[in-house]
Amino acid sequence: MPRIRKADYSVGVVGVGRMGANIARHLKDDGFPVTTVYDVNAKLAASVAKELEAKAAATLAEVTAGADYIITVVTDDRSMKSIFPERGDSLLQDAKDKTFINCATITPDTHVLVEKRASKAGARSLEGCMASSITQAREGTLYLMCGGRKAVFDRCKPLLDSMSVDLRYIGSTGKAAQVKALVNMVMNINTAGLAEGLGLGKALGLDLEVLMEVFSQTGANSRVLETDGEDMVARDHECYFSAAHAAKDSGIALALARQKGLDLPLARRTKAQFARMIDLGKGELDKSGVAELTFPGRALARSKAAKKRKAGKAKAKKS
């Protein structure tokens, strides 16, 4: 097998927000040439490009022209379709022999659509679904779940190995997105459940530090307890994974459930909690911010209780 030379992997990154920028920083530090970046926020793209000594592309087509491997990290299905249109400015323009690694959490059907469009343009496409956060992106320790043709996965493996600490090939296109949706659905349920447990503990006057220690040694333990427990108590909701993303991702899982005729009541209620944060203008808080809805005395919890009382009074008047 020929020796892999990192210098042969010219990389473009589309979407240089928290995750995309840190993936780009890590790859550059690890010796992969990051040649081109793009973001709908042109000022952000220019700043990241300057830092990485890369080009800030003015168009999507410039990214494809300037790199052989293009990593995309966008927010949702609509954004994903907007960077892979079949007409106008597109990553698909002159994309023959280019490879796209798509890291956004989007629906499986959209990954399948992108693969079809890429194939039609003579390009390759791979799902690179991430189950990690900003710190792991910067350190190259993402948990990556990949879907697509195995030959494309093998071709991308040097880049993927650099980005991740645990790399899994899941199967055909769409399968990795399905697994990612389930991962985030369960994580979101755990997060909302922990917020309720700690909120009730606070209302009961329990020592929350002791309560979390007990949780950690019993069936109440979870990865979320480790990552979010202290933040919920301290009200430190610096964003690593937003409430808005939690609502979106739970929605993807619920759509998959509906396709299979399944009712998932915990997932439905959890999505409603995160959707309420969005309604209250707090969707950009970290998902740990769901505790603001459950801890006694906190503003969002008070507003929620007030809304319930108002609805109850309205119902009583009607009856």
- Give the SS3 label for residue 128: strand
Domain match, 271 and 158 both: no
Residues 114, 117: Cα–Cα separation, whole Å: 5
Burial 62-90 (b: 16+ CB within 10 A, else e): bbbbbbebbbbbbbbbebbbebbeeeeeb
- Residue-level pLDDT at 282: 96
Q: 143 in a domain, yes or no? A: yes
Residues 73, 196: Cα–Cα separation, whole Å: 32
Domain span holding position 64? 8-172
Q: 315 in a domain, yes or no? A: no
Q: 31-63, pLDDT tens digit by residue?
A: 999 999 999 999 999 999 999 999 999 999 999
Domain match, 154 and 212 both: no
End position of a domain, from candidates 151, 172, 193: 172
Q: Total structural domains in the chain?
A: 2
Q: 1 in a domain, yes or no? A: no
Domain match, 41 and 146 both: yes
Domain match, 96 and 160 both: yes
Biggest CA pair distance of the chain:
78
Q: 317 in a domain, yes or no? A: no
Q: 314 in a domain, yes or no? A: no
- Residue-level pLDDT at 1: 41
Domain match, 191 and 166 both: no
Domain match, 18 and 91 both: yes
**Ranges of residues in the chain whose predicted pLDDT is under 50:** 1
Domain match, 155 and 253 both: no
| Burial class for 207, CB neighbours closer than 10 Å (0-12, 13-18, 19+) | exposed
DSSP track, 195-254: HHHHHHHHHTT--HHHHHHHHHTSTT--HHHHHHHHHHHHT----SSBHHHHHHHHHHHH
Q: 3 in a domain, yes or no? A: no
Residues in CB range of 128: below 8 A, 6 or more apart: 71, 101, 102, 103, 144, 145, 146, 156, 160, 163, 176
With beta carbons less than 8 A apart as the criterion, state whether 197 and 220 touch.
yes
Domain match, 139 and 273 both: no
Backbone angles phi, psi at 314, to 5 degrees: -65, -40
Domain match, 71 and 144 both: yes
End position of a domain, from candidates 128, 155, 172: 172
Q: 319 in a domain, yes or no? A: no
- Residue-level pLDDT at 312: 58
Here the CATH number for the domain that contains residue 135 is 3.40.50.720
Residues 212, 295: Cα–Cα separation, whole Å: 15
- Residue-level pLDDT at 141: 96
Residues 171, 145: Cα–Cα separation, whole Å: 9
Q: 35 in a domain, yes or no? A: yes
Domain match, 22 and 95 both: yes
Residues 240, 233: Cα–Cα separation, whole Å: 17
Residues 23, 109: Cα–Cα separation, whole Å: 25
Domain match, 228 and 115 both: no
To 5 degrees, how large is the angle CA 137–CA 142–CA 144? 130
Token duo for residue 310:
């108002």
Domain match, 209 and 233 both: yes
DSSP track, 140-155: T-EEEEEES-HHHHHH
Q: 59-89, pLDDT tens digit by residue?
A: 999 999 999 999 999 999 999 999 999 999 9
Here the CATH number for the domain that contains residue 299 is 1.10.1040.10
End position of a domain, from candidates 139, 157, 172: 172
Residues 10, 267: Cα–Cα separation, whole Å: 41
